[in-house]
Structure 1
């Protein structure tokens, strides 16, 4: 099987090879964590490490079901690896192993294991793991393909003419960034079916089962509501009221628990509002975005009504990939779609399908013009003619912004 490089992640991982910390790769199921570990194995062998000192196990596979306890896995590693000298252990979907936190701590204590683990639930770093190895792990968030990575996959696995960047962005917009979707010549119907399979398996394996949720139907309805409202502010009480209008009863506390469970599995992410004048986070009407925007179209089909939210989702995910903390800006009665902060860097972004009308132009520019500082400000659209700079506000095509080396 061809394994495509993902250099941004590999650069970060390689910096920690042989460092006495656990390398923890987390992210949405099927976002490419397992393939990254394959690439890490290749790098280790390129460095001259004998393959008999490397063990790579994927606990999504039934092949390793007999090792799904800390004791059984520990016995296997003792038999499979040399008794002395450095060894390299890579464990995929480690949360499937009972009492795995104790095993990780034990491997760290022995002082000779270079350890890499992946998981599809943010609880991986909570509770006992943080207690066992506090200060001895580094987290690397793995996302589905960026638009730049998507183009590399298309070039590798298809005969597509990549000269037509707008057509490729339109395809990326509809199908999202799950790597497996772009490794075979799927038509759109088959691709959407594959995304739905990923989504359903994530709900069952990483949310329903793990959280012991009994009312699966209500949970799926809440999940669908959140995804259908990507980019729109809503509260748990609004979800509960909507369900009541559908003759279904659920408390807003239960909705909060369901949303938290979806967030732990990286299906959705909560993005808070930030008052740019008061310099404080706001507790009302947060927005939610999806771990991969392809899920929106797979569930509901493409529609112009959902397009603004999906475009925002794509830009939000790109900012997160680049290491920005992201909030929704509030300035007076106006909104800034995204405020990105990374160390001393700050960027303000408005996202719209088009600013062709004077009303839309004034709305999108007005919020940015109300910000008094000199940090970069962007309006990102699908408009064919862009490139202007109005009082420091730059108008860019979304695809060009995604492919830029620096923001």
Structure 2
């Protein structure tokens, strides 16, 4: 084995020699770490996927730290990142995965269960068959993988790993995490009146979050010009490294221009034909490109609510466009309406994405309809010093009986009547 690979392994696994690795751990993200760590009692292959630069590698190191706190022997934890240039000569040889595992074991001589963290595994051709082989051999190896979402997105994994995996989507920071990264302390969920003097501070952080977005590397960078440089680089890497390269896109400029167009239309409802006509591309090509974006977790699309699945899937429907991160949108959009409501609506969508989100309602217009514990919830987003009467009337005229109704506002609050009004900063906590 190349001596440089041994040197790399020693550096990437400092715990082998009792060294600290604080610079790898970053700010804690306990919600992800605790949820993933609970799954270690199961044998399934663990897969972390998500948009590029959302913090997957950092969470791997936080999981390593938790294993060490639970007194797992240091020699039983092996970490490899296959994006390191030292591995370039080996990426077309899937057998190299066996070689690197055996070589790492020869350096540490582990006894018992091995925790194998393979970061950016998609760089190795044929990694899926190797992961399946490890699972089938029932060896005492706990396999945890991360990689590009265009490859490891959950829908594809059902085929690639034949249902032998548990997938965890790692997203940019939500608003609670953003505050923790900025302040170093967490904010508890309370009633509006209980926030007291915190309200103005939370509103301040919300304004910044609306502007910066939630990519960890961006949030931890104070200089705005550097933040913008990072976001532009993230965008280019997603388009050209994650998508153009993987899918052999023959017209990459059209793919990039479509992404810019979608960034400029966040929150709007458009049909395939609307978009294809505006961009001058075939509808079938557009559908392919949109599938790529969804797999890379950079865009999501929300269909209108319909009681019939056939009606819901009709291609003539307008679908609302949302992006994974507003910071990315704010830097990359070629033009966008000054209406801040679309931005707030995007944040509300990202929060509700984990719910049973049924869609948006076309007539009367309601931004979100979701179901929780068998009950429907209607959410309207409206920002401004006053709320237009139509926002209330749309909720009241809806066909959803016995549903909760809420308007997410800029900074207004009311719990009187049938419609709750909640400031966006509170709703996102």
Is this a same-fold pair by TM over 0.5?
A: yes
CA distance in 1 between counterparts of 2:183 and 2:335 reads 25
Counterpart of 2:142 in structure 1 is 114
* CA drift at 1:270: 1.5
Residue segments in structure 2 that go unaligned for 5+ positions in a row: 1-22, 186-197
Residue pair 2:232, 2:332 contacting (<8 A) in 1 also = yes
Counterpart of 1:198 in structure 2 is 234
Say if 2:176 is the partner of 1:148: yes
Counterpart of 1:300 in structure 2 is 333
CA distance in 2 between counterparts of 1:185 and 1:83 reads 43
Counterpart of 1:326 in structure 2 is 357
* CA drift at 1:56: 1.3
CA distance in 1 between counterparts of 2:73 and 2:110 reads 14
RMSD (CA atoms)? 2.5
Say if 2:71 is the partner of 1:41: no
Say if 2:44 is the partner of 1:21: yes
TM-score normalised to structure 1 length = 0.87
Counterpart of 1:79 in structure 2 is 103
* CA drift at 1:367: 2.3
Counterpart of 1:347 in structure 2 is 377
Written as runs of structure 1 = structure 2, the 5 A alignment for 1:153-168 is 153-156=181-184, 164-168=201-205
Counterpart of 2:390 in structure 1 is 363
Change (3 A) 1:302 1:126: closer
TM-score normalised to structure 2 length = 0.83
Change (3 A) 1:254 1:372: closer
Residue segments in structure 1 that go unaligned for 5+ positions in a row: 244-248
Counterpart of 1:136 in structure 2 is 164
Change (3 A) 1:51 1:324: same
Counterpart of 1:241 in structure 2 is 277
CA distance in 2 between counterparts of 1:127 and 1:310 reads 28
CA distance in 2 between counterparts of 1:131 and 1:282 reads 23
Moved over 6 A (4+): none
SS at match of 2:125: coil
CA distance in 1 between counterparts of 2:336 and 2:159 reads 46
Q: 2:365 aligns with which of 335, 338, 342?
A: 335
Change (3 A) 1:46 1:67: farther
* CA drift at 1:318: 1.2
* CA drift at 1:228: 0.7
Q: 2:296 aligns with which of 261, 265, 287?
A: 265
CA distance in 1 between counterparts of 2:78 and 2:405 reads 47
CA distance in 2 between counterparts of 1:397 and 1:250 reads 40
Change (3 A) 1:142 1:129: closer
* CA drift at 1:103: 1.2
Residue pair 2:174, 2:214 contacting (<8 A) in 1 also = yes
* Structure with more of its chain in strand, by fraction: 1
* CA drift at 1:355: 6.4
Change (3 A) 1:110 1:57: same
CA distance in 2 between counterparts of 1:348 and 1:130 reads 32
